[in-house]
Amino acid sequence: MTVPVQAHPFQVVSEVNAVPGLPLDTVVISESVSLILELREALPSAALRALWMSWLSGHFALLLPALTASSSHPPETRDDQLIAEAINFVRGVLERGLPEEAEAAYVQLQELARTCRFLLGLASDLFQHNP
């Protein structure tokens, strides 16, 4: 049984055009991450995986500069190290792109979506404490 998946449009911002201090739309980012992480019986199509990758790339274009700017000093705590490792993981995946094989690409998207959710929580905390 296949389940139809409806994609909703999300604005994608390239890292080049990212504006420092741009407010995060936590609802949009959370909704897109939840959509990517929904349980499915069939693998999403290549076109849908590419769309999701563009969403996540746009979200990371907003999140990474904010988190990088807030931790411009060397990681001192385990939390700082975790954030630095997550940022390096995301940058590596974005540089390499998704694997060719459909199942591996989908797993990579799910890992990116979970990382996006984690970084969104950190960025939200950061913005609440440093408006």
Question: Phi, psi at residue 9, to the nearest 5°?
Answer: -75, 130
Taking the whole predicted model, whether its pTM rises above 0.85 is answered as no
DSSP state of 100: S
pLDDT at 57: 95
- pLDDT per position in the chain (131 positions), as tens? 444 444 444 444 444 444 444 456 788 899 999 999 999 999 999 999 999 999 999 999 988 887 876 655 555 667 778 888 999 999 999 999 999 999 999 999 999 999 999 999 888 877 666 65
Q: Where are the domains of the chain?
A: 44-129
